[in-house]
Amino acid sequence: MESTRQLKVARLIQNVISQILIKEGSGIYGHMMVSVTMVRISPDLSVAKIYLSIFGAASPKQVIESLNKHKPHIRFLLGAELKKQLRIIPELIFYYDDSAEYAEKIDRLFDEMHHKQDSEEDNHADRQDT
Protein backbone atom coordinates (compact mmCIF):
# COMPACT_ATOMS: atom_id res chain seq x y z
CA MET A 1 0.00 0.00 0.00
CA GLU A 2 1.44 3.32 -1.05
CA SER A 3 1.47 6.22 1.39
CA THR A 4 -0.19 9.55 0.66
CA ARG A 5 3.25 11.10 0.19
CA GLN A 6 4.22 8.44 -2.36
CA LEU A 7 1.01 9.01 -4.30
CA LYS A 8 1.48 12.79 -4.33
CA VAL A 9 5.10 12.55 -5.46
CA ALA A 10 4.19 9.95 -8.10
CA ARG A 11 1.48 12.25 -9.51
CA LEU A 12 3.88 15.19 -9.50
CA ILE A 13 6.57 13.19 -11.31
CA GLN A 14 4.01 11.90 -13.82
CA ASN A 15 2.96 15.45 -14.71
CA VAL A 16 6.51 16.78 -15.00
CA ILE A 17 7.79 13.78 -17.01
CA SER A 18 4.80 14.19 -19.36
CA GLN A 19 5.76 17.83 -19.94
CA ILE A 20 9.41 16.91 -20.47
CA LEU A 21 8.47 14.28 -23.06
CA ILE A 22 6.24 16.77 -24.87
CA LYS A 23 9.10 19.29 -25.09
CA GLU A 24 12.10 16.98 -25.53
CA GLY A 25 10.55 13.77 -26.89
CA SER A 26 11.04 14.32 -30.61
CA GLY A 27 14.78 14.69 -30.05
CA ILE A 28 14.93 11.53 -27.96
CA TYR A 29 12.72 9.01 -29.75
CA GLY A 30 11.39 10.72 -32.86
CA HIS A 31 7.85 11.63 -33.81
CA MET A 32 5.81 9.11 -31.85
CA MET A 33 3.14 9.57 -29.27
CA VAL A 34 4.33 8.59 -25.81
CA SER A 35 2.03 8.84 -22.82
CA VAL A 36 2.96 8.43 -19.16
CA THR A 37 0.29 6.03 -17.90
CA MET A 38 1.51 5.52 -14.35
CA VAL A 39 4.36 6.28 -11.97
CA ARG A 40 5.16 4.14 -8.94
CA ILE A 41 7.65 5.40 -6.41
CA SER A 42 9.56 3.47 -3.76
CA PRO A 43 8.75 4.11 -0.07
CA ASP A 44 12.00 6.04 0.40
CA LEU A 45 11.25 8.11 -2.77
CA SER A 46 14.58 7.09 -4.31
CA VAL A 47 13.29 5.13 -7.33
CA ALA A 48 10.49 6.07 -9.73
CA LYS A 49 9.14 3.41 -12.09
CA ILE A 50 7.60 5.17 -15.07
CA TYR A 51 5.14 3.24 -17.24
CA LEU A 52 4.66 4.48 -20.81
CA SER A 53 2.16 3.77 -23.57
CA ILE A 54 3.83 4.14 -26.94
CA PHE A 55 1.85 4.69 -30.15
CA GLY A 56 3.20 4.82 -33.69
CA ALA A 57 6.37 2.87 -32.97
CA ALA A 58 7.40 -0.27 -34.82
CA SER A 59 9.39 -1.32 -31.76
CA PRO A 60 8.41 0.15 -28.37
CA LYS A 61 11.51 -1.54 -26.96
CA GLN A 62 13.71 0.84 -29.00
CA VAL A 63 11.84 3.84 -27.58
CA ILE A 64 12.45 2.58 -24.03
CA GLU A 65 16.14 2.00 -24.84
CA SER A 66 16.40 5.53 -26.22
CA LEU A 67 14.77 6.97 -23.10
CA ASN A 68 17.15 4.97 -20.92
CA LYS A 69 20.09 6.35 -22.89
CA HIS A 70 18.83 9.90 -22.21
CA LYS A 71 17.89 9.15 -18.60
CA PRO A 72 20.54 11.47 -17.04
CA HIS A 73 19.28 14.44 -19.08
CA ILE A 74 15.62 13.66 -18.28
CA ARG A 75 16.48 13.33 -14.58
CA PHE A 76 18.34 16.67 -14.73
CA LEU A 77 15.26 18.36 -16.26
CA LEU A 78 13.05 16.69 -13.64
CA GLY A 79 15.36 17.98 -10.89
CA ALA A 80 15.28 21.50 -12.29
CA GLU A 81 11.49 21.41 -12.16
CA LEU A 82 11.13 19.75 -8.73
CA LYS A 83 14.08 21.24 -6.81
CA LYS A 84 11.76 23.08 -4.42
CA GLN A 85 9.51 20.06 -3.74
CA LEU A 86 12.03 17.20 -3.42
CA ARG A 87 15.45 17.06 -1.77
CA ILE A 88 16.55 14.01 -3.75
CA ILE A 89 15.44 13.39 -7.33
CA PRO A 90 14.60 9.70 -7.72
CA GLU A 91 16.36 7.32 -10.08
CA LEU A 92 14.17 6.81 -13.15
CA ILE A 93 13.26 3.42 -14.60
CA PHE A 94 11.18 3.34 -17.79
CA TYR A 95 8.79 0.48 -18.59
CA TYR A 96 6.59 -0.20 -21.59
CA ASP A 97 2.91 -0.40 -20.59
CA ASP A 98 1.06 -2.60 -23.05
CA SER A 99 -2.28 -2.51 -21.21
CA ALA A 100 -3.90 -0.34 -23.93
CA GLU A 101 -2.92 -2.86 -26.62
CA TYR A 102 -4.15 -5.70 -24.42
CA ALA A 103 -7.52 -3.98 -23.88
CA GLU A 104 -7.83 -3.36 -27.63
CA LYS A 105 -7.12 -7.03 -28.32
CA ILE A 106 -9.78 -8.11 -25.82
CA ASP A 107 -12.30 -5.70 -27.39
CA ARG A 108 -11.56 -7.17 -30.83
CA LEU A 109 -12.11 -10.69 -29.51
CA PHE A 110 -15.44 -9.68 -27.96
CA ASP A 111 -16.49 -8.02 -31.23
CA GLU A 112 -15.59 -11.18 -33.16
CA MET A 113 -17.53 -13.35 -30.71
CA HIS A 114 -20.53 -11.03 -30.90
CA HIS A 115 -20.40 -10.99 -34.71
CA LYS A 116 -20.10 -14.79 -34.83
CA GLN A 117 -23.00 -15.18 -32.40
CA ASP A 118 -25.19 -12.82 -34.47
CA SER A 119 -24.47 -14.73 -37.68
CA GLU A 120 -25.24 -18.06 -35.97
CA GLU A 121 -28.56 -16.66 -34.69
CA ASP A 122 -29.40 -15.44 -38.21
CA ASN A 123 -28.62 -18.89 -39.64
CA HIS A 124 -30.72 -20.55 -36.95
CA ALA A 125 -33.66 -18.18 -37.64
CA ASP A 126 -33.39 -18.84 -41.40
CA ARG A 127 -33.59 -22.62 -40.81
CA GLN A 128 -36.67 -22.27 -38.63
CA ASP A 129 -38.44 -20.18 -41.30
CA THR A 130 -38.15 -23.00 -43.84
The Cα-based distances of 99 to 31, 38, 70, 129 in angstroms read 21, 11, 25, 45
In this structure, of 2-11, 15-24, 75-84, 113-122, the range with the lowest mean pLDDT score is: 113-122
At 127, the pLDDT band (50, 70, 90 cuts) reads low
Query: What mean pLDDT is predicted for residues 8-19?
Result: 96
Residue 130 clears pLDDT 60, i.e. is over it = no
Cα-Cα-Cα-Cα dihedral sign, residues 51, 16, 57, 111: positive
How many C-beta atoms lie closer than 10 Å to residue 64's C-beta? 20
pLDDT tens profile 78-117:
999 999 999 999 999 999 988 766 667 787 887 788 777 7
Tell me the pTM: 0.75
Would you call 118 exposed, middle or buried from its count of C-beta atoms within 10 A (0-12, 13-18, 19+)? exposed
Measured CA to CA in angstroms, residue 92 lies from 58, 61, 75, 89, 112 at distances of 24, 16, 7, 9, 40
